[in-house]
Amino acid sequence: MKEKTGAPTAIGEHVTKVQALWKEIYHWPDMPTDGRQWDKLFAEGDTFTIGELKARVMHSPGHTLASITYVIGDAAFVHDTLFQPDFGTARADFPGGDAKVLWNSIQQILALPDATRVFTGHDYMPNGREPQWESTVAEQRERNPHLARVSEAEYIALRHKRDSELPMPKLILHSLQVNARGGQLPEPEANGKRYLKIPLDALEGAAWD
Ligand SMILES: [Fe+2]
């Protein structure tokens, strides 16, 4: 989209921590980790506009170190924090993830006005239902099985148990190499070809399908 439209790209400023983390895991001595791969790094509370729409940035870590929520008008784009209220919340066991930190981020989202429309990053279509992407803060607070009448300690315990049983996404080690570079492929090696690296011991104890 940037190539086609010239639109600037932006991401949460803590992406620099994600870059530093994966730079070690992949052993990329020359990888810049100052976020220069994007045009703009957003901090907590930053505001911007899309046309006449006013948008605000909330730092929402826990699933990753850099996660952010965009609050735009009466909508919140919450990426991987909350999923649909009949499913639950995002896992917190990837490198840089933390269940307690994710709980705090989710509480900040749930503190938005009840009628705020919540747009999630994924949907897992429980019980074979059709895909969904939208709910409200009130629905999340009342119906989300990971949050409704669940304490912080119960949430952390639930997250740890569930995360220990979830297999790693098959392509996580492939995709992070492109994601961490702002969508660019790795630089070509001396023979002019580009490679993805697969570290064999990066995710200790992880389950794979
Ligand atoms: Fe994710």
pLDDT value, residue 143:
97
Where are the strands (E) in 80-124, listed by range? Answer: 117-120
Instruction: Please check the confidence at residue 209 and state whether its pLDDT lies above 80.
Output: no
pLDDT value, residue 208:
77
Give the model confidence (pLDDT) of 136-176 as tens digits.
999 999 999 999 999 999 999 999 999 999 999 999 999 99
Instruction: Please check the confidence at residue 84 and state whether its pLDDT lies above 80.
Output: yes
For the record, the structure tokens of 6 come out as 């010239």
Mean pLDDT score, 106-128: 97
Rounded CA-CA distance 123/89 in Å is 10
pLDDT value, residue 165:
92
140 CA to middle of ligand 1, Å? 19
194 CA to middle of ligand 1, Å? 25
Strand-pairing partners, residue 86, are none
94 CA to middle of ligand 1, Å? 9
192 CA to middle of ligand 1, Å? 32
191 CA to middle of ligand 1, Å? 33
pLDDT value, residue 123:
96
pLDDT value, residue 158:
97
Mean pLDDT score, 73-94: 97
Rounded CA-CA distance 44/170 in Å is 32
Instruction: Please check the confidence at residue 132 and state whether its pLDDT lies above 80.
Output: yes
172 CA to middle of ligand 1, Å? 10
Rounded CA-CA distance 77/143 in Å is 19
141 contact partners, CB below 8 Å, separation of at least 6: 110, 114, 147, 148
pLDDT value, residue 81:
98
190 CA to middle of ligand 1, Å? 33
Give the model confidence (pLDDT) of 23-76 as tens digits.
999 999 999 999 999 999 999 999 999 899 999 999 999 999 999 999 999 999
Strand-pairing partners, residue 118, are 76, 135
Q: Which residues surround ligand 1, an ion (CB under 5 A)?
A: 80
Mean pLDDT score, 202-206: 80
pLDDT value, residue 201:
86
63 CA to middle of ligand 1, Å? 7
